[in-house]
Amino acid sequence: MRDNYLTLLAIVLILSTIIQSSYIIIKIQEVRQIPIAGKAASSSTGLIKLCIGGMSPENMTTNCPNRTREGVEIYCEVNASDPDGGNLTFYYSGTEPFLNVTSDGNITIKTYNGSLETPPLLEKYQNMLGNHSPLLVASKPSICGDIWTGLSLHLEIYDENDVPYLTQSLPDRTIPLSTTVLLFRLDDYFDDPERQTLSYTHSPSPSIVLTILGSSDVLAYTNSCASENVVFTGTDPGSLSADSNSVTITPDCGDASAEEGETTQTSSGDGGGGVESPCVSDWYCDPWTKCTPNGTTTKRCIDKNACNPDNFIYEIEEECGYIPPPECEEFWECTEWEPCQPDNTQTRECTELNGCDTQENKPPTIQECVYNPTCTDGVQNQGETGIDCGGPCLPCSEVQVPGVIQEQKTIISSLLLLIILILISLLMVYKYFHKQINAAVVKMLLTITEKRAKRILLSEKDKKYLLEKLLEVEKGINNKNLNKKVMDTSVICREYFSKIFKVSLTLTKKQLEEYISHLRIKEPLSSIFLSFYDKISVVETKKIRMYKTDLLILIEELREIIHQTSRFKEEDIGKEIKEITIEKKDKPVVKIKKQIYNTYIAMHFNKLEVSKNKYSEIINIYEEFSERLKAKFYKDLERLFNEIKYLVSINQ
């Protein structure tokens, strides 16, 4: 109703504007020129004031520098002379926060904000960097107003590289034997005044293997009981560096000589007080890759315990000696030349049989030739009057073209009108019955699928192992351990792919696509695998915020994928599973998440019709979403559709 009032108001405003404009145009045509008469035309007298002031200030100079670094305080002055011998007042025109000018011409330049620190930190001066041109002014009063002269102060403030520094001392560490552990992250102890990224090295440690990852995490491993004193060095891109204090790394060899009440500092925190066992990483690494021509080799490592959830997959790079492959001798095999074409060329195909991946000695595949025209080559040549007829060929036949039958315009108009009425009727029906129509269409799409045999990709042993791991993750989920539970579940998801394809946990999407092709996994199961891998990657990189319901959906989806790729029985679930109750007060986003969870529960027990009905309800909720929310749920719903479709096809 409110929209109708607004529309009516807009129409009234437009009509009133048109009427007023028309009236003004008509009245303008009636304007007449009337000569000025009366008092306005009579002569009058006025008072003119002439102001003769003094001369402007001159010889304005300054001894301020034109260039200075950040984080300094400079004193200089501006001078000028008055030809009339008076006193001048100085100031500057501008808003530069680093400049102060006193009335007698003394200038202070402070290229920092707040207090002066050594070294100067980037946030103290970043807004000052660059070129500035404030206007210095020398002024004096006169009866005509102030008379002034200006001088531009051209000043460049540049950033000079400062040495990195240690923000706090690195704590000593005690590490277990024969286990790789995370000692600390060096970025928590080093900093750079310009906030540049630092690279790190360490002093020799013969009995302890130390690895500094790209994230500045320090990993340690030893099978010796010898302690080491290590100094770490942080270097900025300008080759300036700072050293840490000497850190003592002591292997835990079961020495019971510590006095009663004495404890060993093993916290992986920020060096404060507190006795806490470090997170013990369980690293798995792929073999080193082949040495590249630029002299480097890499390998990917994954921490199964996710001690650092933000960085538990690393790629380590080392230098190596590149040995170029032996030269390959090309061996080409070519087909016979094709017949000569009307453009006087002929071609052939050539194949290199030694797999050299070079074409330096490839034989020619096209050459010139002399074409002999015929009466069947589809080209008008050799004096033909038509294509392949006339001249030396058979005479061209005459083709009679029947006349065009003109349709009556009334018939066409009637058909168009009928089509328009049908479309309008369909739109009206869909507007009022779209939920029922959507449900029917979804059920039809999920039902129309070809019967296929179930692919058993997971062994009985691996199925039992993965389901037991899921049961372990589900115990005691709360807000405090939610992030840890999410990372544990993502590792189990990677283990699922690892056990199916017999590969490492660091499987990439490109490798997954190759294994799917090798095992001839067809649609829709291939799309399910690729889409589920994408979801795992998003979860691992924390590109979406995970709530408890999201984690439960992830667990049940993996359980259902295990169901669809193994000899799965209801008792394999190992616990009683109930649907989540959907409340009337729940927001649409919460409702759709709960319904997705309930759909997976129905699928575990092969309740196909229930699964189809729940998916139809999900689509009806999804249709009410904004485009932004639709984009958030689209991939999950597309994958759920494929999973139901696959479940239907293997249970027909």
CB 320 within 8 A of CB 295: yes
Q: Rounded distance, CA 10 to CA 471, Å? A: 64
Q: Rounded distance, CA 120 to CA 105, Å? A: 28
pLDDT of residue 233: 95
Structure tokens at 205: 């440690």
Omega before 237 within 30 of 0, i.e. cis: no
pLDDT of residue 34: 41
CB 543 within 8 A of CB 584: no
How many helices and strands, by DSSP H and E, does the chain display? 10, 28
Q: Which residues of 598-636 are buried (b: 16+ CB within 10 A; e: fewer)?
A: bbbbbbbeeebeebbbbbbbbbbebeebeeeeeeebeeb
Bridge partner list, 197: none
pLDDT of residue 442: 59
Nearest one of 71, 75, 64 to 132, comparing CA atoms:
64
Tokens 């404030």 map to which residue? 134
Tokens 């139809």 map to which residue? 616
Residues of the chain predicted below pLDDT 70: 1-54, 255-278, 309-311, 326, 397-411, 413-414, 425-449
CB 394 within 8 A of CB 387: no
CB 157 within 8 A of CB 69: yes
> Residue 108: left if φ>0, alpha if ψ -120 to 50, beta else—which one?
beta
CB 213 within 8 A of CB 314: yes
E strand segments, 332-436:
332-334, 345-347, 350-352, 366-368
Separation in Å, CA 221 to CA 249, 480, 505, 597: 11, 30, 21, 43
Residues in CB range of 168: below 8 A, 6 or more apart: 189, 270, 271
Separation in Å, CA 352 to CA 359, 363, 426, 512, 571: 8, 10, 61, 30, 58
Measured from the Cβ of residue 574, the count of other Cβ atoms closer than 10 Å reads 13
Q: Which residues of 480-512 are buried (b: 16+ CB within 10 A; e: fewer)?
A: eeeeebbbbbbbbbbbbbbbbbebbbbbeeeeb
Nearest one of 550, 574, 551, 578 to 562, comparing CA atoms:
574
pLDDT of residue 230: 95
Q: What end-to-end distance do the CA atoms of the chain give, in Å?
A: 52
Separation in Å, CA 511 to CA 26, 298, 399, 498: 80, 17, 62, 11
Q: Is 154 exposed, middle or buried (0-12, 13-18, 19+ CB in 10 A)?
A: exposed
3-state SS record for 6-38: HHHHHHHHHHHHHHHHHHHHHHHHCCCCCCCCH
CB 76 within 8 A of CB 65: yes
CB 302 within 8 A of CB 312: yes
pLDDT of residue 576: 85
pLDDT of residue 114: 76
Q: Write out pLDDT tens, residues 399-441.
A: 554 554 444 455 676 677 777 777 776 666 555 555 555 555 5
Q: Write out pLDDT tens, residues 180-191.
A: 888 889 999 999
Q: Rounded distance, CA 484 to CA 551, Å? A: 11
Q: Write out pLDDT tens, residues 144-156.
A: 777 888 888 888 9
Phi/psi at 553 (5° precision):
-65, -45
Q: How does DSSP classify residue 272?
A: -
Q: How far is C-alpha 442 from the geometric centre of its chain's CA atoms?
A: 33
Can you give the C-alpha Rg of the chain in angstroms? 42
Q: What predicted TM-score, i.e. pTM, was given to this entire model?
A: 0.39
Instruction: Specify the DSSP element, H or E, that contains 490.
Output: helix 482-501
CB 489 within 8 A of CB 471: no
Structure tokens at 331: 């061996």
User: Mind listing the domains of the chain with CATH numbers?
Assistant: 58-158 (2.60.40.60), 165-254+263-280 (2.60.40.10), 285-353 (no CATH), 460-650 (no CATH)
CB 471 within 8 A of CB 492: no
